[in-house]
C-alpha cells in the first residue's frame, strides 16, 4: 500500500481500512507513505493570502487540526512501514525519486500486488517494476479523472488495474479515455466504499449536540458534514434553505466542519437573513462525529469527497439519517432516490467560482421540502440503516481481494 501524503486524509483512511480487511482475511500488508514532510511544517507553510501551500497549487486554510499523522496511524494499527521511502509528491528531486525507486524495487521483490492512490507513487512503482524480471501486479485507485495533460493519462493507462469508486466514475473515465487514450475495459473495476455500521456508526440520541448549539429538540434539522470549501457547494445549500425557510419555520441548518470557506459562508448566512436559523458546529471527530449524525434529521451531501466513495453518506445512513445527495459520484448510487433520501440533479459542468443556477437551487429546495414531511422521513430512516449494512468493511475487503486475485490469475 503506497500513498504519497503524510496526513490521514480520505484516501489514507480508506487505504488503512482496506489493509485491516486484508489482514483479517489472512494477507500481509506493508505500507509506504510520505516521510519527508512534517505535518506541523505543512500547517505553518502559508502563502500571501494566509492559506496552506501543499506544493502542488492546492491551498487550504491555516488549520492546526486539519491533518493527522498517517505514519503514526499505520504504526498504531500494527502494520509494517517502509521508513526508508521518502515518497513525497511535493517538488521531489531526481535523486530523491531515484532512491525511492531503488528501495521500492527491493521491497516489491516479495510482493504480489502494489496498490497506489496518487499518480506520484504510481509512477515510482511502474518505474521500479520495469527494472524487475518478475514484477508484482500494480493496481491504482482512481478517485478523480486525470487532468488534460497526456503524461498522467499514460501513467494511469500503464497500471495493471484501475479501481473506481462508482459506476458514474467508470463511465466518465471511459468517456475521457475515448477522446485521449484508450483504456482496456478488463482492467477497470468498480469497488464501493464501506462503513463500520455495527460498532461505530449506529442510531442513537443526538439531543446533547442540539442543546450545545441551542437548537430546539422539536426542530427539523438539516445538516451538512464536510470540509467547508468552495467545491463542496455550501453556498448552494444556503440559498436553497433560504428559499424554503418561511415554509418550514421550525427547520434549522447545521454546518459541521471547518475550512477556508467558512468566513464566506458565515457572511452569506447573515446576508440571507439566516443568522438565527443556521448553526456552525465546527470540526467533529470520533464519538462527536457520530453524535453529529444522530442530531440531524436529514444530511445533505452534494459533491463527493477526496476518497470518492462518499464515506460521509454511508456514515449518516448507518446512523439512520436520510440523505439528500447530489447526482454526481458514488453518493447518487448509494442513496436510492425516494428510498433512503433524495437524489438532486446538479450541473456536472459547474466550476469553482460559478454561481449556483436558479434551477439547481429550486431542485435542492424541493428536496428539502420533500424531506420536511415527517411521515416520509420516518419511512426513509429505517431503510437508511438497512442500506448502510450492505457496505460493510468485510464486503469491501472481499471485493478488493477478488480484484487482486483476478490480476494475479491473468498474470499467470
The dihedral sign for the CA sequence 328, 331, 335, 336? positive
CATH fold group of domain 207-388: Rossmann fold (3.40.50)
Q: Where are the alpha helices (DSSP H) in 109-233?
A: 119-130, 150-157, 167-179, 207-213
Q: What is the pLDDT along the chain (412 residues), one digit of tens a residue?
A: 999 988 887 889 899 999 999 999 999 999 999 998 876 655 554 433 344 433 333 333 334 334 478 898 999 999 999 999 999 998 899 999 999 999 999 999 999 999 999 999 999 999 999 999 999 999 999 877 665 555 566 678 889 999 999 998 888 888 877 655 557 788 899 999 999 988 889 999 989 999 999 999 999 999 999 989 898 999 999 999 999 999 999 999 999 988 888 999 999 999 999 999 999 999 888 889 999 999 999 999 998 877 788 889 999 999 999 999 999 889 999 999 999 999 999 987 787 778 889 999 999 999 999 999 999 999 999 899 999 999 999 999 999 999 999 999 987 7
H or E element in which residue 164 lies: strand 161-164
Domain boundaries, the chain: 2-194+393-410, 207-388
The pTM score is 0.85
For residues 66 and 60, what is the distance between their CA atoms, to the nearest angstrom? 9
Cα 353 to Cα 209, 230, 236, distances in angstroms: 33, 8, 12
Show Cβ contacts of residue 297 under 8 Å, excluding neighbours closer than 6 positions.
220, 221, 222, 321, 322, 371, 377
CATH of domain 2-194+393-410: 3.40.50.2000
Domains 2-194+393-410 and 207-388 share a fold: yes
For residues 289 and 303, what is the distance between their CA atoms, to the nearest angstrom? 19
Radius of gyration of the chain (CA): 22
Contact 353, 327 (CB under 8 A): no
Amino acid at each position: 500500500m503506497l500513498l504519497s501524503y503524510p496526513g490521514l486524509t480520505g484516501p489514507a483512511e480508506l487505504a488503512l481500512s482496506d489493509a485491516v480487511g486484508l489482514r483479517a482475511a489472512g494477507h500481509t500488508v506493508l505500507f509506504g507513505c510520505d516521510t519527508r514532510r512534517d505535518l506541523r511544517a505543512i500547517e505553518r507553510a502559508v502563502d500571501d493570502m494566509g492559506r496552506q501551500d501543499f506544493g502542488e497549487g492546492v491551498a487550504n486554510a491555516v488549520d492546526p487540526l486539519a491533518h493527522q499523522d498517517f505514519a503514526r496511524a499505520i504504526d498504531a494499527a500494527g502494520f509494517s512501514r517502509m521508513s526508508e521511502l521518502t515518497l513525497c509528491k511535493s517538488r521531489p528531486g531526481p535523486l530523491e525519486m531515484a532512491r525511492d525507486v531503488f528501495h521500492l524495487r527491493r521491497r516489491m521483490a516479495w510482493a504480489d500486488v502494489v496498490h497506489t492512490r496518487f499518480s506520484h507513487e504510481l509512477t515510482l512503482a511502474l518505474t521500479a517494476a520495469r527494472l524487475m524480471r518478475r514484477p508484482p501486479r500494480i493496481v491504482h485507485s482512481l478517485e478523480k479523472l486525470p487532468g488534460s495533460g497526456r503524461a498522467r493519462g499514460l501513467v494511469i493507462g500503464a497500471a495493471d488495474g484501475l479501481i473506481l469508486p462508482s459506476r458514474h466514475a467508470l463511465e466518465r473515465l471511459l468517456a475521457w479515455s475515448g477522446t485521449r487514450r484508450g483504456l482496456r475495459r478488463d482492467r477497470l473495476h468498480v469497488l464501493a466504499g464501506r462503513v463500520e455500521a455495527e460498532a461505530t456508526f449506529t442510531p442513537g440520541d443526538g439531543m446533547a449536540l442540539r442543546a450545545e448549539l441551542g437548537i430546539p429538540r422539536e426542530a427539523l434539522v438539516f445538516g451538512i458534514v464536510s470540509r467547508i470549501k468552495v467545491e463542496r457547494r455550501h453556498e448552494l445549500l444556503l440559498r436553497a434553505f433560504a428559499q424554503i425557510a418561511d415554509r418550514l419555520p421550525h427547520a434549522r441548518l447545521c454546518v459541521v466542519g471547518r475550512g477556508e470557506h467558512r468566513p464566506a459562508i458565515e457572511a452569506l448566512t447573515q446576508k440571507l437573513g439566516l443568522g438565527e436559523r443556521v448553526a456552525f458546529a465546527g470540526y467533529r471527530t470520533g464519538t462527536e462525529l457520530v453524535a453529529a449524525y444522530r442530531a440531524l434529521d436529514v444530511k445533505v451531501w452534494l459533491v463527493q469527497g477526496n476518497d470518492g466513495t462518499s464515506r460521509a453518506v454511508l456514515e449518516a445512513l448507518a446512523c439512520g439519517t436520510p440523505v439528500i445527495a447530489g447526482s454526481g459520484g458514488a453518493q447518487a448510487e448509494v442513496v436510492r432516490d425516494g428510498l433512503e433520501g433524495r437524489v438532486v440533479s446538479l450541473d456536472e459542468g459547474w466550476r469553482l467560482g460559478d454561481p449556483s443556477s436558479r434551477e439547481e437551487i429550486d431542485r435542492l429546495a424541493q428536496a428539502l421540502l420533500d424531506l420536511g414531511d415527517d411521515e416520509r422521513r420516518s419511512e426513509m430512516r429505517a431503510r437508511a440503516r438497512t442500506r448502510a449494512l450492505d457496505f460493510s468493511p468485510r464486503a469491501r475487503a472481499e471485493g478488493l481481494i477478488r480484484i487482486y486475485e483476478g490480476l494475479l490469475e491473468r498474470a499467470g
